[in-house]
Amino acid sequence: MLWIILTVAAAPLQVARNAFQRGLVGDAGPWGATLVRFLFGLPFSIAIFGVVALATRDAAPDPSLRFWLAAILGAAGQVAATGALLMAMHRAGFAVATVLQQSSLPLAALTGWWLLGDVLSARAWAGIALATAGLVALSWPRAGAARGTAAGVLLGLAAGAGFAVAFNGYRQAGLALDPAHPIYSATAALVIAQVMQSATLTFLLAVTRPQALAAVVGSWRQSLSAGFFGSAASACWFGALALAPAGPVRAVALIETPIAAAVGRRLFRERISARQWLGGGLATAGVALTVLG
């Protein structure tokens, strides 16, 4: 039951993080807002790992080459996905972008089948087909739609692909570090990834867009909120995944979709059309069928 509680808690925390980050895009830009998630979340992630480490004193981590490669892959995929998601929110809307990034689950399944030899059931393939149909309905441009909307849809799908890479990378990193202590491994990998992400993005912004870096520092209160919610959400996700298979966890996590729709309508005055509701429903149902297959 604990994994269900953690997953249910993670969904609104993640929506809150996305909302805070979206508000930062205007001044800091998408990559400055992406940095917020990692830099200001790092102290909270370190604190969470410290608590877990104290409770898991018999852990014997093995930071092998496999671990470092998987952690780097996961960190890079997450950075790219977060930046794409924030840009998609400005072009396609908060709720629509949130649904589009759920394509990470079918994409992760396809990647596992193609590259890792995962065996998928007929139900899983049906879910992939249903999710694809929903995403097509959701992303199909309306007559006379602005070019920016179509770009937002592509960015949302790119975010899903990036999150699929990150999910597989972090899972492999956790398995490589200390399989006997999955929660310890997950929180350790989270801290290491955030250190790499924070250092890389800070350096790149300092060189290419120092004004964005200054905007991040100047809005430290909102940035700290985004960092806290991001760190708390990540800790809940990894904790849930350490206690239960990924399929049931991600299925429960689909409560994020209606929460994001409500937040987008209330905070950002977004309206969702009937076709978008239908497409989002099909995509969500397809994702659920895929992960439960």
Question: What total number of domains does the chain contain?
Answer: 1
Residue 40 is classified by DSSP as: T
Burial 87-108 (b: 16+ CB within 10 A, else e): bbbbbbbbbbbbbbbbbbbbbb
What sign results for the dihedral spanned by CA atoms 226, 232, 234, 237? Answer: negative
Does 176 have pLDDT greater than 70? yes
Highest mean pLDDT among 23-37, 84-98, 168-182: 168-182
For residue 170, the Cα-to-chain-centroid distance in whole angstroms is 12
Q: How many distinct helices (H) and strands (E) make up the chain? A: 13, 0
State residue 275's pLDDT score.
Answer: 65
Does 200 have pLDDT greater than 60? yes
CA–CA dist 82, 80 (Å, integer):
6
State residue 105's pLDDT score.
Answer: 66
Task: State the pLDDT confidence band at 165, using cuts at 50, 70 and 90.
Answer: confident
Does 117 have pLDDT greater than 80? no
pLDDT per residue over 31-57, tens digit each? Answer: 887 888 889 999 999 999 999 999 888
- What does the pLDDT average to over 198-203? 94
Range of the domain at 275: 1-292
**pLDDT top residue among 126 and 74:** 74
Task: State the pLDDT confidence band at 287, using cuts at 50, 70 and 90.
Answer: low
Contacts of residue 3, defined as CB under 8 A and 6 or more positions apart, other chains included, come to 239, 240, 243, 244, 248, 249
Mean pLDDT of the chain: 78
Q: Note the pTM of the prediction, 2 decimals.
A: 0.76
pLDDT per residue over 69-78, tens digit each? Answer: 989 998 999 8
State residue 160's pLDDT score.
Answer: 84
Contacts of residue 130, defined as CB under 8 A and 6 or more positions apart, other chains included, come to 282, 283, 285, 286, 289
State residue 260's pLDDT score.
Answer: 64
What sign results for the dihedral spanned by CA atoms 179, 182, 80, 108? Answer: positive
Does 197 have pLDDT greater than 90? yes
Residue 57 is classified by DSSP as: T
